Each structure stands twice: as structure tokens, then as C-alpha cells.
Amino acid sequence: MAALAGCGGETASSGGSPATRQGLSDRLVDVGKKPPWVNALDVDPATGDVLMTTNKGFWRIDPATDAVERVRGTVTAGRDSSPVGTFLEILVTGPGTLLGSGHPDSKAALPPYLGLISSDDGGATWSVISRLGEADLHKIVLKHDRMYAIDAVIAAVLVSSDGGETFTEHFTPRDQVLIDLEVDPGDPDRLFGSTETQLYRSEDGGRSWRPSEIGDRIRLVWTAPDAFFRADQDGTVYRSRDGGERWEETGAVPGEPYKFKALGDEQLLLALSDGTVVETKDGGRTWNEVFRP
């Protein structure tokens, strides 16, 4: 089994792809470092602010004014604590409440992998739920009263039915770390996961996987049975109306896609590699810029 050392496991792009073109903003993202650059994208339901984490920190963005505020957090376990915010996965679960994972910003006090953590004050303070020192969760999905997550440490999909207190481990294809994960809204055991070059599917909750589509660094979001979207590295956006059997090209975005956020069945946000956020309200056919760093 090939275990990877958490974040930074994605390889840099080559050629003339959007990820390597000149002129990318470095305001929120350090594009000089090894990917991943954008780690998470979500929305605060209390304010409508966009929440984004990157390899430079945790950012709160007012899309109406483009004002950016850095969120500086602390994670505590027992008597030890550390600043946190860089290389942080987040998932908003309610006003001011978040789940997360990643790495402490200070390497002295806590283990390098934070496991599953939570915050009830918008990311200012965090506590550990489980797997401290064991897991680095790159994507967390809540569906069907289950929690699904990509663990980059052991190259597995973790599944929990008790809110993340305990997990069942399902190892991914050829022990590769997935870069994205989605779950069928109608079937808790039907999963899709992408690697650097391939989209895989599982029909048994992650116990076994088989190839589905070839594509570079595919990003995923599944909002309804007939609304399964993917965005490839070159910016092309596709939609499947039959659960990933067939894909139709719907539109394109002006950069390398990194993280989706669903606001409705056909209303999506998408963070690009430099932290630019674009939005579609028509299922990926047209995209408008919401925020540019």
C-alpha cells in the first residue's frame, strides 16, 4: 500500500494548461508552491460570505464588495494547541459551524495530521473529533446520514455513520489518493472519485472501484439524480443526467477548476486555481465571475 504524506501530493501541471499560465494572482494563493493551491470552498449561510482555504490561509470573502478577511484559527487537543488555517479542509454544517481537517501551521505542538476537527465559532477555535495524528481528510461529504471523506495518509475513502467518531476504511484504486469524491444523491453506496488522470466509480460504498472516464484532475459535484457535474483541468464543464454513464459538454470556465460548491441543483460556485470564484445558475452553460483576487 502506497501512503502519501497528505497535502502537496498533487503533481504540478505541465505545458500550457491554465494551472501554469503566466499572470495568475498570488493574493490568496502561492502559485510558486506545489499544488494543491485551493483546498476548500464553501459559503457562510449567516452572511453569504464565501469561505476559501488555500496554501496561504483561510479567507472570508464578501462577494458584494470583494473585501477579504483572513480567518486566524487555533486548534486544541488536550493541553496542546497550534495555529491553523493553511492547508485546511473545511465543510460548513450550519451558521458558524464547520467540520475540517488538515495540518497545524506550527509543527511543534501537535501531530502533522489533524484528523477530523470541528469549530462552532466560524473557524476561530477548533477541537479534535477523531483520528488526530492519523488522518488528513482532503474532502468531506455529508449525504444519506453518512460522512464520506478522502484520507490522503492511507489512500482510502473513510465512511462514518456516527458523525465522524469512528470510520470504516475502504482503500482506493491501486492505493492512489483521490483528489475529489462525490456520492450519488439517490444511492449511498454509489461513489465516484477522481485521481490525477482517471475517474473511478464504486457501486459498493468504496469497497471496490473500476475505471469510469479518462480525464485530467477532474473536479466533481452531484446535486440531484440528473445533475452530476464534472470540470476537467482545461476548464471544460460536463453534465451527466444518468449517473455518470454519459457526459455532455455544457460550458467552460477561464482557468483550472479546483473546488465546487453547490448552491442549488443547477446553481454552482467554482473556485479556480488562483482563488477566482465563478458562478453558474443554468447548470454550467454560462459562468459569471463572482470574485477575483
List the grid coordinates of 269. Answer: 460556485
pLDDT at 106: 87
**Domains of the chain (ranges plus CATH)?**
18-291 (2.120.10.30)
pLDDT at 8: 53
Say whether 173 sits in a helix, a strand or coil: helix
pLDDT at 25: 81
Say whether 190 sits in a helix, a strand or coil: coil
Walk along the chain (293 residues) in steps of 10 and give the mean pLDDT of each run.
Answer: 47 38 76 91 96 97 95 96 94 97 90 97 98 97 98 97 98 90 98 96 96 96 98 98 98 97 98 97 98 95
Give the whole-angstrom CA distance, residue 26 versus residue 14.
19
pLDDT at 174: 82
Residue of 94, 244, 269 whose CA lies nearest to 183: 244
What DSSP letter does each residue of 19-80 carry, written as one string?
Answer: GG-TT---SS--TTSPSP-EEEEEE-TTT--EEEEETTEEEEEETTTTEEEEE-EEEEETTE
Give the whole-angstrom CA distance, residue 242 versus residue 257.
23
Give the whole-angstrom CA distance, residue 261 versus residue 45.
13
Give the whole-angstrom CA distance, residue 54 versus residue 9.
15
Say whether 229 sits in a helix, a strand or coil: strand
Residue of 18, 11, 57, 10 whose CA lies nearest to 233: 18
Question: Which residue, chain included where needed, has cell 473511478?
Answer: 200
Give the whole-angstrom CA distance, residue 132 versus residue 115.
4
